[in-house]
Amino acid sequence: MKYVLSFFSVLIATMIVVVQGDLSLHKEMHDWYCKVDADRMETIFCQNWYYYLDTKDTENFSCPLKNSPEEKSAFDNHAKTMHETWCARIGNSEKQPCLAWKKVLSSSEGGQRYGGTQSRISGGEL
């Protein structure tokens, strides 16, 4: 079964454009969230990220593991939590993943999906 281009693919593509192809800071953030902060490697969110990194054909990538509304909701919650916590850490708010996340939140779809800009990201750091 072929899945329609997912928001995750669009999010990654947006971030790739924003960071001009350099995913090293995004990898650092995902490694921290999925492996260091807590072991979240069994989550839909982390599985899809590492599946994406292993995919050769990223242009046609979609999230094959996000099959149900519950999985989509869990995925979105992890995306929001990861960005809120990573970007709130001292020294991270001006890094490219956080700047890209701010753009996602300022978009109409991203704002609706994730609740707009959070104050922890846009101003205060922990």
Sign of CA dihedral 74, 27, 86, 21: negative
The continuous run of DSSP H or E covering 20 comes out as none
Beta carbons of 113 and 77 less than 8 angstroms apart:
no
How many whole angstroms separate alpha carbon 12 and alpha carbon 118?
Answer: 20
Phi, psi of 42 (to 5 degrees): -90, 0
Q: Give pLDDT tens digits for 24-53.
A: 898 999 999 999 988 999 988 898 888 888
Q: What is the pLDDT of residues 65-105, one digit of tens each?
A: 566 788 888 888 999 999 999 999 999 999 988 998 888 88
Cα dist from 104 to 27, 108, 109, 121, whole Å: 18, 8, 8, 12
The residue that leads in pLDDT, 107 or 58, is 107
Residue 60 corresponds to which tokens in the numbers above? 């046609």
